[in-house]
Amino acid sequence: MPPCLRGEKILTTKARRHSDYNLYLIMPQQYKFSVLLCALCGEKNLRSSVVNPPFLNDEDICFTFADMKNNITAHIRFNRNEFSGAFGDIGTDLPLIIGMLLASDFNTANVLILFGIMQILTGLIYGMPMAVQPLKAVAMIVITQKISGSLVLTGGLIIGVIMLILSATRLLNLLGRIIPKTVIRGVQLGLGFQLAMTALKQYVPALETPGYILAAVSFIIALILLGNRKFPPALFIIALGVVYSLVFSFHQGMFQLKAPVFIIPEMKFENLWTAFALLALPQIPLSLGNSIYATQQVASDLFPEKKLNVQKIGFTYSIMNIISSLLGGIPVCHGSGGLAGQYTFGGRTGGAPIIYGFFYLIFGLFFSGNFFSFIEIFPQPVLGVILVFEGISLMLLVKDIITDKKNFFIAVMVAVMANGLPYGYFVAMLTGILVYYLLNTVFLKHFGK
């Protein structure tokens, strides 16, 4: 029996003397398939005053209410920079959410409220601008094929369970040691290019001549203020879009408060195989590349003191999808582009995703019935400029391997394949790994000489 199930080992005499307990959600190494809820004595500074119990080690997943408390006091701020950074990923998220709501039979209130809650919880848990995004492969399949919400929820649940198994069995750690950094850089380069080109081809031309003018003004603002902590650029770019909407598109009938209709969905488990083949198989490789390993690499680049591991990212990814699917939300993930985007526009703490989460929570609670009216009037070229800079910031991460000709070649090759082939990210990662491990023996022996 695990020690944590023997009460005398956990609730010590010291613990019984205190009325303040912290709840631990843990996954011990030697009981990988167990998720246990234990109570430990709580101190104000838990990390320095309480030693991990014998069934835990430094690499185990452990989320506590003390962690959230410490993050709130030390790693969560609410200021103009966090507000600016909060909207650094809106150019990616909003079009995908709107597209899925229009193409399927999701309940708008469920989707917006749950998406907002996931952002808020992620900010509390990580204490950094860790992005939560719609699953891109799933979103594109839903938008293009207009599949039912029930099937999407089933697919999201399957994806969450698969990632939970990969996290619990430490296969994520094993794969992380196998996949070289240069391949991850290629995934980031490819995704950054994809985001930037989507913005330039679809968003910026949306309003024709007025759109190009808006985009040009927004672009100049971003170039002048990028990195400015006193006057963060996204505040002015978003304000420009709001002013344009109020002057040219807003009318009083749009502003109507409506109570949300929150519905517990029905999930049809007879569609398990269809959901697995149609949604999970295309998504999992992309999630491993961008949502897990690339996100961990970006977090290490921008926040090395956090020492964030892939197992924690995989665990929160899985729990978000399981909960969201059961309650009628869209499948979600973490994203390296979102993290880079929020950081680029000023986000440095968990305050950015919390602010961003309240944006969706307020819309879900009060304006879910008018959501599409509000969103349609906001100028897409403004979102496009934000998305361009998110893509550029992601591409720039390749700078640490650019002087190594062979590694840089592999990264560019992965980026090109990811953008141009069916199941591009999966094929590109496999090819990049193969070339990397056979470098100088089979491949690229004469390159760069």
Question: What would the pLDDT profile of 31-58 be if each residue is shown by its tens digit?
Answer: 333 333 333 333 333 333 333 443 334 4
Least confident residue range of 237-251, 262-276, 349-363, 414-428: 262-276
Q: Quick one: pLDDT band at residue 260, thresholds 50, 70, 90?
A: low
What's the whole-number mean pLDDT along residues 137-156?
A: 85
pLDDT of residue 258: 62
Contact indicator for 136, 336 with CB cutoff of 8 Å: no
pLDDT of residue 41: 32
Mutual orientation of helices 90-103 and 108-126 as an angle, nearest 10°? 150
pLDDT of residue 47: 37
> b/e string for 382-403 if b means 16 or more Cβ within 10 A?
bbbbbbbbbbbbbbebbeebee
Dihedral sign, CA of 380, 368, 263, 352? positive
What's the whole-number mean pLDDT along residues 77-103?
A: 89
Asked if the model's pLDDT at residue 129 lies above 70, the reply is yes
How confident is the prediction for the chain on average, in pLDDT? 80
What's the whole-number mean pLDDT along residues 407-435?
A: 90
> b/e string for 286-302 if b means 16 or more Cβ within 10 A?
bbbbbbbbbbbbbbebb
Mutual orientation of helices 310-327 and 108-126 as an angle, nearest 10°? 160
pLDDT of residue 221: 95
pLDDT of residue 236: 92
pLDDT of residue 78: 93
Least confident residue range of 49-63, 308-322, 349-363, 385-399: 49-63
Percentage of the chain modeled with pLDDT above 90: 40
Ramachandran class of 227: left when φ > 0, alpha when ψ lies in -120 to 50, beta otherwise: left
Instruction: Give this prediction's pTM.
Output: 0.75
Q: Quick one: pLDDT band at residue 256, thresholds 50, 70, 90?
A: low
- Nearest by Cα to 185 from 285, 55, 298, 30: 298
Asked if the model's pLDDT at residue 11 lies above 60, the reply is no
